[in-house]
Amino acid sequence: MAVYTEIADNELEAFIAGYDIGAVLSAKGIAEGVENSNYLLRTEKGPFILTLYEKRVKEDDLPFFVALMQHLAARGLNCPQPVMNKKGEALGRLAGRPACIVTFLDGMGVKKPGVAHCAAVGTALADLHRAAADFTMTRTNALSVDGWRPLYDAAASRADTVMPGLREATEAALIDLEAHWPDDLPKGVIHADLFPDNVFFLGQRLSGLIDFYFACTDTVIYDLAICLNAWCFESDGSYNITKGRAMIEAYRKARPLSSAEIEALPILCRGAALRFMLTRLVDWLNVPPGALVKPKDPLEYFRKLRFHLHCRAASDYGLAE
Amino acid sequence: MAVYTEIADNELEAFIAGYDIGAVLSAKGIAEGVENSNYLLRTEKGPFILTLYEKRVKEDDLPFFVALMQHLAARGLNCPQPVMNKKGEALGRLAGRPACIVTFLDGMGVKKPGVAHCAAVGTALADLHRAAADFTMTRTNALSVDGWRPLYDAAASRADTVMPGLREATEAALIDLEAHWPDDLPKGVIHADLFPDNVFFLGQRLSGLIDFYFACTDTVIYDLAICLNAWCFESDGSYNITKGRAMIEAYRKARPLSSAEIEALPILCRGAALRFMLTRLVDWLNVPPGALVKPKDPLEYFRKLRFHLHCRAASDYGLAE
């Protein structure tokens, strides 16, 4: 659920006047994106999305995100394209925050992805990786393996209040991942948060990818592990290998996988599950009193982690032999 | 803050196919309206608002609200106009709830209304009352004087936890209002909730009124008392008589006030303040644990009530002598 920064009267109008997009006709706060305030704008030139960057997004990272969206859009990927103001800048300030206007993408997230959706995501993810291959800026992934122990430390003492035994199991997984995390696989820009609410569809057709605010430079195939976690489990916690196969095969059709990448898939899947479990756990244990945001369940990802602990090879995820 | 009912995949598509508005291109949950789930739809025919009616709105009342919006729109008032489906019905069902699609109105609510906004609201309110004069359906106002004692009873025992002395002061106001509430003033359809977030402006021009889900049949001029409460106090709690004058004079230019209506203004303002104080107080005392909705401050309206207790005549609100 999004945060809403209120924009003072006239301030919006003055901000929009700095762009060549006509006058504002309406601006509605929308429930999209977790980290920022988003408004669906209608101007005389059509619909746009206005994003105010809240404190969880570092201002220093914004030029990376904006340049990445411009780069990907220029290569034909359907993603929001930053709109330049009359000074030629994509980033401005509104309501005391950095702000950006991006183009509006048609389409809707799916709540219950089917096999075809998973295949489409596999293709789109590979397309993203290929389109970003010549992007020159880099951004460290603060939520990769080096970032997990600080999260674990912040949550460990209270982890068992969420589920008895959670602390020990988490620590064991962490120690294993720290010892064996692969460092020699191809690196590049990854989306790092391509969950179903960040992928738009029109019917069965994938119409766009949004929310690049976790994008970073990391092991490319780790992004596929994140997507397998986010898309291929059923609501009862079971892994749907048909969906996994559809996603992996669609991905490697568009971007071939090396044998080292294939071999690493199980550990990358464990890492992805631990990463989302840990951030959810920290959020879960630190809900401020009176918070308007309901935290996501960390145990959903603990159950996924447990599944991955039984996987030995990429074929366990559906990779065709 | 709005509630969000999630709409299952395909269900929206199937619902929209029952209308002549083209295919859905996007649907975003928006923070508009307190009682219902609202989505900003984009279809091949343009923008629309889709409302799912949540349990706080009685299903039996929906035909009244829908017919009223149709009636007002037919008389040229800028308000959402229900869109008929292919069966000629304005009300359908979606996600297990009654649902309605209405036309999209351009404009934005103002956070800090100025004098010109108050005048525009006075005119629009009178226009609404005149346009509704020949509307034949009726709906009892469950939140008029007869509805206040049950609210008081529900809150009385804990009222002093909000502010010492609140119970006694509230009861005294209630007894006074029950004894002297006028019953012989002109009746008609009132909006009953015309707060700043329900009035859209484009610049200084009022572009539309929304959210008719408290509309009912009641003392017409009581609606003006509600608006004086909602629009003419500053954030420090002071009453701005210049705004009050602008609103009242604009109103009576479009719909002349009888001397009985003018005389009743102070008691109607007290009643309006008590009504919003009581519903806010009950909500405040009954926030469920883990609620995602932040209740509004009842004491804001208690302070307004205290102001009204010092007013003896409509001139105290700015009516020109």
Give the number of A-B residue pairs with CB atoms closer than 8 Å.
76
Residues whose CB is less than 8 angstroms from the CB of residue A185 and which lie 6 or more positions away in sequence, other chains included: A219, A220, A221, A258, A260, A261, A264
- Across chain B, how many H-helices and E-strands are there? 9, 9
Residues of B in contact with A112 (CB under 8 A): 8-9
Q: In this complex, do A110 and B9 lie within 8 Å of one another by their Cβ atoms?
A: yes
Residue B289 contacts A where some CB pair is shorter than 8 Å: no
Quick: pLDDT tens for B215-261: 999 999 999 999 999 999 999 999 999 999 999 999 999 999 999 99
Residues of B in contact with A111 (CB under 8 A): 6, 8-9
How confident is the model at residue A4, as a pLDDT?
A: 67
The pLDDT tens digits for B102-131 are 999 999 999 999 999 999 999 999 999 999
Q: Is B137 an 8 Å CB contact of chain A?
A: no
Q: What is the mean pLDDT of chain B?
A: 94
Query: For residue A42, which residues of chain B lie inside 8 Å, CB to CB?
Result: 47, 106
What are A190's two structure tokens?
């990854």
| CA distances to A16, A17, B154 from A86, in Å | 10, 9, 57
A207-242 residue pLDDT tens? 999 999 999 999 999 999 999 999 999 999 999 999
What is the spatial distance between Cα A34 and Cα A56, in angstroms, rounded to a whole number? 10
pLDDT at B289 over 70: no
What is the least distance, in Å, from the CA of A26 to any CA of chain B?
5
pLDDT for A290 beyond 80: no
Higher-confidence position of A305 and B5? A305
pLDDT of residue A2: 46
Provide mean pLDDT across the span B11-17. 94
Q: Where are the alpha helices (DSSP H) in A196-316?
A: 220-231, 241-254, 259-285, 298-308
Looking at every residue in chain A, the average pLDDT score rounds to 94
Residue in B45, B186, B28, B197 with CA at minimum distance from that of residue B107: B197
pLDDT digits (tens, 9 = 90+) for B138-180: 999 999 999 999 999 999 999 999 999 999 999 999 999 999 9
User: Which comes out higher in pLDDT, residue A204 or B92?
Assistant: B92
Parallel/antiparallel/unpaired status of strands A216-219 and A187-190: antiparallel
Each residue of A188-200: pLDDT tens digit? 999 999 999 999 9
* ipTM here: 0.85
DSSP letter for B198, please: G
Where does the pLDDT of residue A119 fall: very low under 50, low under 70, confident under 90, or very high at 90 and above?
very high
User: What's the confidence (pLDDT) of residue B206?
Assistant: 97
How far apart, in whole angstroms, are the C-alpha atoms of residue B207 and residue A26?
Answer: 11
Q: What structural domains does chain B harbor?
A: 11-103 (3.30.200.20), 115-317 (3.90.1200.10)
Give the rounded percent of residues in chain B with a pLDDT score beyond 70.
97
- Decide if A112 touches B, using CB distance below 8 A: yes
